[in-house]
Structure 1
Amino acid sequence: MRSARRTVDRFDLDQARIAEALGQLRDRGEATVRDRWHTTRFNLALAVQAGLAAALAWIVSRHFLGNPDPVFAPIAAIGTVASSVGQRLRRSVELIIGVAVGIGVGDLLIFVIGSGAWQLGIVVTLGIVLTIFLGGGPAVVNQAAATAVLIVALTPASPDIESLRVIDALVGGFIALAVIALLLPVNPLRLVDRAARPALNRLADQLSETAEALATDDATRAQRALERMTEIEEYMDGLEEALHGGRETTILSPARWHRRGALTQYFEGAEFINHAVQNSGTLVRRAVTALEDGEPRPSSLPEAISALADAVRMLRQDLGVGTLPKSARQCALSAVSAAGRAYDEGVGFSGSVVVAQVRTTASDILRATGIERAEANRLVRWAVGRDAAREAPVDAESLPE
């Protein structure tokens, strides 16, 4: 009888584990599809810019400059647009230098040793070594190597186009800059918002998951949230790159000058968004420990983390449309107030760290909304000290701008 009961219990446990594994796989699959779709939409404007720049570079080089084989013009144009979202002026110069190095090395060596497979290997190797020696970055190195390959491949068919190759590179690079700045300038605020969305949405989602885990005493759920938190830092790199690209767009494109103010607000808040991500990681980690150790968890503790998640969502939403994030301030202070109540009601060691991290992360969010450090700290202290049951909620309209 006991053996049969153990078999049934083991079967139920296995079924639960299978269901949990399938659920994790489904969630991961949905997240992957969502992330890929987001990435495609994010890069669609760059793809259109690259296509238009390549076509215009070909037309100008072939029909206006008389180059019968304008290969390097569209290559330089595509490289200028697509090599990086930010710092295009510097990268366009690097790409032109890379083309010049590749052409010079390739033409010289082919004149001396001829063309062929082993000659191709030598040309590429020397082109890369010389470019690195001259201090070129990855874009220069890649372009020099690719250009050297094309030189070897095209020389037998087109022996007298050396001077036009450098002109092609210049034409392609400057046409790409014209497309970026004048013809199809991206909306810099939308560019940054799309880059920030994966990071901030993932942060808010995992904070919400942690709140639910605390409310339902589910350490496994909190652990999964902690594991997913590690992915956010990768998205933050994309946000920083998009911010630099957006700032460059507001400088180059007269049509986007009106976005400078909103983008500056996002740019100045990025540092504190990054702090909020790091502090939230510590928060979730300590929440896992509190659950595993069976520490007391008053209902106001998950309430605080849930309010913090709402603050992150409101921050992204308001910054993304260029408005003052007052709703994010309201949610952040509500989180601090709930965390203060949780501390008064009694928490363990890890729970007290969670409370402290709620306060720290809320302060980061307030700083990201444009509030100075001293004022943010004052508001946090005030929110901790007030009794939410007897006082009206913070009026977001009254907070400093």
Structure 2
Amino acid sequence: MIGVTRDQVDAVAARARAGLMLAVQAGLAAGLAWYVAHDLSGRPMPFFAPVAAVITLGSSVGQRTRRVVELVFGVAVGIGLGDVLVVLIGRGPVQIGVMVVVAVLVATTLGGGASLIVQSASSAVLVATLTTTTGQPWTRFLDALVGGGIGLAVMTVLLPLNPLTMVRRAADPALRAFTAGLHEASLGLAEGDPDVIQAALTRLREAEGTFTAFGTAIEAARENVAFAPARWRNRGALGQYVGGAPQLTYALRNVRVMLRRAQTALNDRERVPEVLPASIRHLGDAVDLLRQEWARGVEPVAARERALRAAAESGRAYEAGVAYSGGVVVAQIRTSVADLLRATGVEYAEATRQVRTAVGWHGRPHGARHRTARSRPAPPLPPVDPA
């Protein structure tokens, strides 16, 4: 007997919990769609109604409204073509192939997305194989309209998903990966090991996917809150994530630039002050504190304080004296700290002021900062990593 670990059981349970609400939504929507189309409207076999309801709920998060529109038009195109082609060329394997080709070409020509194309083709196949030529084609279109509308009603009014839960579940792995990458990079810089920094870079590249999922969850949550009156009370709490996510993406990209330059500094055997890896570690701590404070729905005061400590440590590194690549690392830390402060809700000008104050440059003449770094000018910022 194959052994099952506790982690595997927990993972299965977590997936089941995550899918339970969607399953209940889909079941309720399918039953209601059949009831409305069959029992209330008197349609003998309104199979398009529950199918449309389930497809609506299964559409990609953050795009459900668009998917419903595409679904309805896709069904209309498929049904219309299917009915016409059945009359003209009959039924059979060759005819079905021709119907699919024509349906896909028409949907593509209309500029439809994947949902419209798939629904056009599948609706044409259903008309050609499972329906009769009796009855009015527009009734099947109305079935799809009823199903799509009920699907929307279920997910926005009757059983709306909790938008904050969706976003927090997506934000957690993104911010944990960001934190882990910074901590690993700090260790690599402290040990003078460029391979460890490379591993941190790889981790952060892989984190791009979690940040994409984070952004998608935010779009879905915004849509949910906009259409679901029961979730309007979450707009304020959701605002932390909505406003902070873009700034965290900027910070992630700046950190990747910083780590590549840190790797170069080690390869070139530049002197690395001890406070520099400490600064990166504090930046990682700030990201983790932000994750925790957002999850609790509180003002991210601790995250701001730790981010500013990272800026202060980077300023000490500059004062101790760094070569070119080290100077770029310091500059990118300051930029990342500013991004992180903006993610916590601090305005751009105020974030810049706080970073300058933490570094010790507030109120100094523009050229004074260069003279304090052992007469070594600060290098220009490199471009943001487009990857």
- The answer, yes or no, to whether TM exceeds 0.5 is yes
Match of 1:390 in 2: none
Q: CA-atom RMSD, angstroms?
A: 2.6
Q: Is the 8 A contact 1:42 1:191 kept in 2?
A: no
1:348 Cα deviation after fit: 2.9
Moved more, 342-351 or 120-129: 342-351
Establish whether residue 377 from structure 1 lines up as the match of residue 360 from structure 2. no
CA distance in 2, matches of 1:35, 1:292: 41
Give the 3 Å change call, closer, same or farther, for CA 383–256 of structure 1 in structure 2: same
Stretches (4+) displaced over 6 A: 31-40
Identify the match of residue 200 of structure 1 among 175, 198, 207: 175
Q: Tell me the CA shift for residue 36 of structure 1.
A: 9.3
2:53 aligns with 77
Distance in 1 (CA, whole Å) between partners of 2:269 and 2:64 is 53
1:52 has 2:23 as partner: no
Aligned residue identity for 1:284: L
Residue 102 (structure 1) aligned to one of 78, 101, 105: 78
Count residues in correspondence: 356
Give the equivalent residue in structure 1 for 2:161.
186
Alignment of 1:254 with 2:223, yes or no, is: no
In the alignment, is the contact (CA less than 8 A) between 1:94 and 1:139 conserved in 2? yes
Deviation (angstroms), 1:42: 5.1
* 1:297 Cα deviation from its structure 2 partner: 2.1
One-letter identity of the residue aligned with 1:253: A
Contact (CA 8 Å) 1:190, 1:320: kept in 2 or not? Answer: no
Q: Deviation at 1:198?
A: 2.3
1:280 and 2:255 equivalent?
A: yes
1:275, 1:251 → 2: CA distance? 27
> Which deviations, in whole Å up to 9, do the C-alpha atoms of 1:282-312 show, x marking residues without a partner?
1221222222222222221111111111111
Contact persistence 1:57–1:73 (CA under 8 A): yes
Asked if residue 339 in structure 1 is aligned to residue 311 in structure 2, the reply is no
CA distance in 1, matches of 2:322, 2:15: 42
Match of 1:353, SS state, is: helix
In the alignment, what sits opposite 2:281?
306
Report the Cα distance in structure 1 between the residues aligned to 2:103 and 2:8, rounded to whole angstroms.
39
Cα distance change, pair 141–220 in 1 and its aligned pair in 2 (3 A): same
For residue 211 of structure 1, the aligned residue among 186, 190, 194 is: 186
Matched residue, 1:127: 103
Q: Partner amino acid for 1:97? A: F
Q: How big is the shift at 1:341? A: 1.2
- Please give the alpha-carbon distance, in whole angstroms, between the structure 2 residues aligned to 1:168 and 1:111: 22
Q: Does 1:263 align with 2:241?
A: no
1:350 Cα offset (Å):
1.9
Structure 1 gaps of 5+ residues are: 1-30, 387-401
Take 2:174 and 2:110, find their aligned partners in 1: how far apart are those partners? 37
Equivalent in the alignment of 1:151: 127
- Which one-letter code corresponds to 1:340 in the other structure? G
**8 Å CA contact retained: 1:189, 1:321:** no
1:320 alignment partner in structure 2: 295
Distance (whole Å) between structure 2 residues aligned to residue 203 and residue 319 of structure 1: 15
For 1:75, give the aligned amino acid. V
User: 1:71–1:380: structure 2 CA closer, same or farther, 3 Å change rule?
Assistant: same
Q: How does 1:164-179 map to 2 (within 5 A)?
A: 164-179=139-154
Q: Aligned partner of 1:226: which letter?
A: L
Equivalence for 1:142: 118
Shift of 1:323: 2.3
Question: Post-superposition shift, 1:38?
Answer: 7.2
Cα distance in 2 for partners of 1:191, 1:108 equals 44
**Contact 1:47/1:82, CA 8 A, preserved across alignment:** no
The answer as to whether partners of 1:209 and 1:221 remain within 8 angstroms in 2 is yes
Amino acid at match of 2:290: L
* Letter in structure 2 aligned against 1:250: V
> In the alignment, which residue of structure 2 is the partner of 1:10?
none
Residues 36 and 131 (structure 1), Cα distance of their counterparts in 2 relative to 1, 3 Å cut: farther
Aligned CA distance change for structure 1 residues 111 and 164 (closer, same or farther; 3 Å): same
Distance 1:275 1:129 in 2: 40
Structure 1 residues 47 and 285: alpha-carbon distance in aligned structure 2, compared to 1, 3 A threshold: farther
Q: Residue by residue, what CA displacement relative to the aligned partner does 1:252-276 show, whole Å, maximum 9, x if unpaired?
A: 1111111111222321222211111
2:267 aligns to what? 292
1:333, 1:383 within 8 Å by CA — same for their partners in 2? yes
Cα distance in 1 for partners of 2:208, 2:224 equals 25
Are the equivalent residues in 2 in contact too, given 1:35–1:198 (CA < 8 A)?
A: no
Q: CA deviation at 1:136?
A: 1.7
Task: Output one character per residue of 1:127-184: Cα deviation in whole Å (capped at 9) or x when no partner.
Answer: 111112222222211211221222222135x854734321221111111111111221
Distance in 2 between residues matched to 1:233 and 1:85, nearest whole Å: 18
Which string of whole-angstrom CA distances, capped at 9 and with x for unpartnered residues, describes residues 376-395 of structure 1? 00000000018xxxxxxxxx
Q: What TM-score comes out, normalization by structure 1 length?
A: 0.82
Specify the alignment match of 1:27 in structure 2: none
Return closer, same or farther for 1:36/1:355 CA change in 2, 3 Å cut-off: farther
Cα distance in 2 for residues equivalent to 1:381 and 1:143 = 56
Code of the aligned partner of 2:167: V
Unaligned runs of 5+ in 2: 1-6, 362-387
How much identity, in percent, do the aligned residues show?
A: 48
